[in-house]
Amino acid sequence: VTGFTHLLIVRMLFGIGEGPMGTTTNKSIANWFPKKETGRAVGFTNAGQPLGAAIAAPVVGLVGLHYGWRIAFIVIALLGFVWVACWLWLFRDKPEDHPRVGPAERELISRQRPATQAAAAPQQDRHSLWRYVFSLPVLGVASAFFCFNYIQYFFLSWLPSYLTDFQHLDIKSMSIIGVLPWLGATAGFLGGGIVSDMLFRRTQNFLLSRKLVIFVGLAVAALCVLLTAWSRDVVSAVTLITLASVFAYMTPQACWSLLQDIVPAGRIGTAGGFVHLLANLAGILSPGITGFLIQYGGGYHTAFLLASALAVAGMLLLALLVRQKGVNTLRALAAN
């Protein structure tokens, strides 16, 4: 890129390309995994996102320092092309289409898919998709996801500046220390999926097991982000942000898994896209609001307070909107 306008256009195209990732990943997992394994599957799959950020921080920083920022971007782009080749070679939309999946495994997956209790195809479902996407349970999941995403984009867009401007780290040190929150986020993705599946096996209550993981994750993240607002040394700040990342990143895979149980299989793609749309509004709002608060509204202190408050709001909206009665109503709707 050669200027601001060029950069803006490229960033918009990047976002358009990246946008379907969460929805299509969730739909693929719904097609491929039994209900009892969806938490781990979503957690393991999405752990690649913060793990990629952890690897990218030192790679981009150090390559950029030695060879220039353009070369750093080229290195990352080449990794994307390698992934595309692997994806085309390994992936099929459904187990029935994959030559390496045997009949017994196909039967197991088909019998225990997450939304089998309401698996009507869209053409067979007499009800409008809007009845699903604007239902209280789906809006509750989207609200919790939005509040998590606000924290995520807060860290993605402003953590490097916070470490360099407020904590006075140089770029080389920030590239190394900045890895820790993303390693914590990777652990949160993996751990949240394992814990939610474990709770489901013990309680046999899919809704409770997912909601509990989201609630605890957002609660601890809110507390850690709140304490970061008063942190004045880099060790305590990075420790708190890393803990916040661990627990906050327990949230998204539980949200995706929860959505698979709320919405019938024939509507999971559309409903997931809608949830992703609402959640990613945080990606538009968070960087701008944070920048405004840093410059005009009290600095990083106020920005951390707002992120903490939104995590609490996500907990409350989840508790109020995602209830068994509303989920049962959606299931009955799809069955009739």
Nearest to 109 by CA among 98, 95, 99, 120: 95
Condensed to tens digits (0 to 9), the pLDDT of residues 300-314 reads 999 999 999 999 999
Whole-number percent of the chain with pLDDT over 70: 93
Cβ neighbors of 67 (< 8 A, separation 6 or more) are: none
pLDDT at 116: 43
Average pLDDT rounded to a whole number, residues 69-79: 88
pLDDT-derived band at 68 (thresholds 50, 70, 90) equals: confident
Chain mean pLDDT for the chain = 84
Tokens representing residue 4 in the block: 């601001």
Q: What are phi and psi of 68, to 5 degrees?
A: 100, 155
- The answer to pTM > 0.85 is no
Domain boundaries, the chain: 19-102+132-335
The amino acid that residue 214 corresponds to is I
pLDDT-derived band at 117 (thresholds 50, 70, 90) equals: very low
- The superfamily (CATH) of domain 19-102+132-335 is MFS general substrate transporter like domains (1.20.1250.20)
| Residue 118 scores a pLDDT above 50 | no
